[in-house]
Structure 1
């Protein structure tokens, strides 16, 4: 890509320094790419143990940049997305960590910083939806990939960080093996005001895109720019057991007789018969007995490859 641009533009980078062992080298690579591609020297805003990225993103936004790039895991991406939500400032994803769930769904390379930098600096802007989650504490939380209660939250809470660094997605499989036989819970659902009742389930998951873990299409047909969420409910499969669940997930079967149900909509409410662990974008947020998922359509501007690809065909 040629960078013979008539003027330079400003970029702020929100970074989780714990994700980059060679922090100085990483900054040098980003700075060199910015210069080569017609941008000013980046301004850097670091997250910390006490700040997942919200304060850093607010400081970055106050600097009035033309672009905010985020370098970190899914939690850092979510924090920056929450700050940039509703603004006209685009977000460039420079993935790091195991998940990189939003980047994977947007077709942004997770294993090449150089390619991700070219997309951030020279790609096109595209508006995507932002998910909203509210639990027992009544605090509205932003998510870009998923929010849910039950099995997914248990897996995330029991995934060993050290093992995740060594084996990647395999750590989630290990955690899943330790949690999948837990007792289910009763749930009453509402989908855009219409009530649905399920006697027992293992997971209620609101998805903003189709692939939410390990490139598995859990929410078939879900797209980041369709102004709605897809709710997936996992129920015990008393006939085929967990093998039946796995087969249905792999085959993309929905609303069958066994385990998976899926609804599309803009507003989902749930009431549980007991407290269950909740999560957003893979981060546990404590137990809840009730909550709501909603969508803020087109609220976040992201930088995508040219041509852009959203969702999956």
Structure 2
């Protein structure tokens, strides 16, 4: 059934101005603009229309929605970010306060990577630099926990799956009452449900929203870091890897590229890759919206 009016969603950009401008210079758009486009596409696949606003809680002095203004949205999502919560910078702490306001408003709440970390911190958890190092490119062998296998956020997922990812931090301590739904050997908290106040948050440490082209743009920016950390032996190897990623995005039928990159079929399929986002829209946002009398 098509909603009487578009779902009203809010996407919170995780990056301060200089970081998102640097991202846009390489990828062609900021993370929040990209995220909003993905949500619009997924909602369309569910026969839903959306009206999506952006906000910038990392911007010092930003006028952020709260109270009744925030309650007017049907759901809130937080993007990834180049910030680190353990540095306790004002740009990060402001986002934790914003997440607390979203929890208080009781809105359907979702976050990828940084979004999971911010929500965890807002609810009383702790985020640290991962002592095992950076997870970048494709997160391998993510495993649903017993709770995750039964959780609607992962409806349609296999028990073990891969996903696009890039992060050096992790949720070291989940808030009290949180439910761990996915994990892997490199990062203990790959997905979780967090409840705080009136709100329920679904979040993942990986990036279900990413295309391989978007991932390739990020890896291009990160190439010097990846070289220093031993992910590539030289710049030519990095260029070749990124080129293969982008070409696979253009032609997912390229078995040779998928094999060479070790990309599973479930990662190639956009709807499967974005399972958690689809389920959030379908099972969190839409029912909550209907209960508010808009269906």
- Class of the TM-score when normalised by the shorter of the 2 chains: 0.3 to 0.5
TM-score normalised by the chain length of structure 2: 0.35
Q: Determine which structure has the larger strand proportion and give its number.
A: 1
Q: Which has the larger radius of gyration?
A: 1
Q: Which has the higher contact order (CA 8 A, sep 6+)?
A: 1
Q: Determine which structure has the larger helix proportion and give its number.
A: 2
